[in-house]
Amino acid sequence: MTSTSAAPAVAGPLSRLGWAIRDGWAVAGREFSQLRHHPGELVGAMIVPVIMVLLFGYVFGSAINVPGGGSYREYLMPGLFAMTAITGVIASALLISKDIAEGVMDRFRSMPMARSAIPFGRTLADLATGIITTAMMAGVGLLVGWRAHNGLAATLAGFGLILLVRFAVSWIGVTVGLSISPETANALIPILFPISALSNSFVPTDGMPTWLRFIADWNPISALVAASRQLFGNPTITPAEGSWPLQHPLTATLAWSIAILVVFIPLATWRFQRTTR
């Protein structure tokens, strides 16, 4: 990775922001170049969505009926998109903790670059990975019968919402990864499935016990899944007396995403500065 020029001694907010963005792109470029040297990581990221679609769509789908009718695979795909989106937490945590353990951060510290560039570059690279895996999953979904029925604009809005959530949660991953070891980050991977399952991703929440349904309805993943189903025109179940996030899923998802970014962008940057000080 090439070193960027140092920031001017006296710089305004816009100048500092531009400096951070340029350095962030350079860091993201480093992440992309690593994929060329380790293509197995990208291949693995592309194979997993295929397995998920086939496993959930055919194995689980053969035993589940969608209330009100409709294809279970169409009902399922937004849930799988959401499940893929939240993997940005672990991916970012694992890679940045690995860089710290291998001394890469010490090298960055010796370079004249914006401190916020490292978290920004890492989340930008994860967003690119998210685009690839989401596109791969959508392609497989089309092959097994999933369709988006509300036109191009709504479809793009649905995918944009999914990627916004991926970008937002990757900042949580960076913050966590700056405080843990790669081994601990690996150990966190199994918790992703229970978090995804405790939502409306695979089955409606109205059949759950009241206390569990409350948790599932307020799970941010449930709002993302419901919003995606609405935008794609896929089967969705919204109880008349459902929780606020399921009654207003698009608003709720945007609110969750903005709140995460507002909290974790400065928190990740501050934590990175302390880690590399």
Q: Is 69 left (phi over 0), alpha (psi -120 to 50) or beta?
A: left
Comparing 97 with 164, which gets the higher pLDDT?
A: 164
Contacts of 253 (CB under 8 A, 6+ apart): 161, 164, 165, 220, 223, 224, 227
Question: What 3-state DSSP class applies to 271?
Answer: helix
Contacts of 18 (CB under 8 A, 6+ apart): none
Long-range CB contact pairs, 157-162, < 8 A, 24+: 157/231, 158/78, 158/227, 158/228, 158/231, 158/232, 159/81, 159/134, 161/224, 161/227, 161/228, 161/231, 161/250, 161/253, 161/254, 162/81, 162/82, 162/84, 162/85, 162/134, 162/224, 162/228
Please check the confidence at residue 160 and state whether its pLDDT lies above 90: yes
Backbone CA torsion sign across 6, 268, 173, 188: positive
Q: 197 phi and psi, to 5 degrees?
A: -70, -30
Ranges 24-38, 179-193, 222-236, 251-265: which has the least confidence:
24-38
Please check the confidence at residue 66 and state whether its pLDDT lies above 60: yes
From CA 154, how far away is CA 137, in angstroms rounded?
18
Please check the confidence at residue 70 and state whether its pLDDT lies above 90: no
* pTM, to two decimals: 0.85
pLDDT of residue 204: 85
Average pLDDT, the chain: 81
Contacts of 29 (CB under 8 A, 6+ apart): 1, 121
Cα dihedral 174/177/178/182 (nearest 10): -150
Q: What is the pLDDT of residues 212-243, one digit of tens each?
A: 999 999 999 999 999 999 999 998 876 656 68
Contact present, 216 and 228 (Cβ < 8 Å): no
From CA 140, how far away is CA 134, in angstroms rounded?
10
pLDDT of residue 26: 60
Backbone CA torsion sign across 54, 171, 274, 35: positive
Q: Is 9 left (phi over 0), alpha (psi -120 to 50) or beta?
A: alpha
DSSP 92: H
| Residue 24: CB atoms within 10 Å | 23
Q: What is the pLDDT of residues 175-196, one digit of tens each?
A: 999 888 888 888 888 888 888 8
Please check the confidence at residue 73 and state whether its pLDDT lies above 80: yes
